[in-house]
Structure 1
């Protein structure tokens, strides 16, 4: 029963991460969304994309750092977060749920925590 719930949760999250795809232009965004979807599914109990906030996205980067960036490198992790923010901003229904994230060099406290 638990496996069935997990499968339904994954399908539900994946459905929320869908968007109108272009064959080549959005390949990077598609890959980024797929990685963030897997992170949200694996490391959180979130069922709705609206609940993905700045803490979840910062933890996404932190998780990859703790894994010594074995799966993806640092630049890709940052790009994934930026691509997710572009996806949210482009979606009219989700635009109001866009997390406020500062990935600039001036955000010294973020980089010290990582």
Structure 2
């Protein structure tokens, strides 16, 4: 928040509102909020991703990652290039992408 903001109180109230439903945000989108109590929310505590959240928050942010992230990202990039260049339909490009990712994860 800018120190020169004319509406600091309102901005803080709005940010507080946006981050107030940690459980709802996690349930709907898989994201945790920046609020201190996020580790105590039942759905987050029970998540298989909790160790990754705790690890990444030591560095100030959560970054989605997996052992096959680079390969999966390349498959998605290829799909986007295939449909945006007209070589494939969107459906065909992402069907192929899904199959590539399935095979990558089987390795």
TM-score by length of 1: 0.28
Please tell me whether Structure 1 or Structure 2 has the larger radius of gyration of its CA atoms.
2
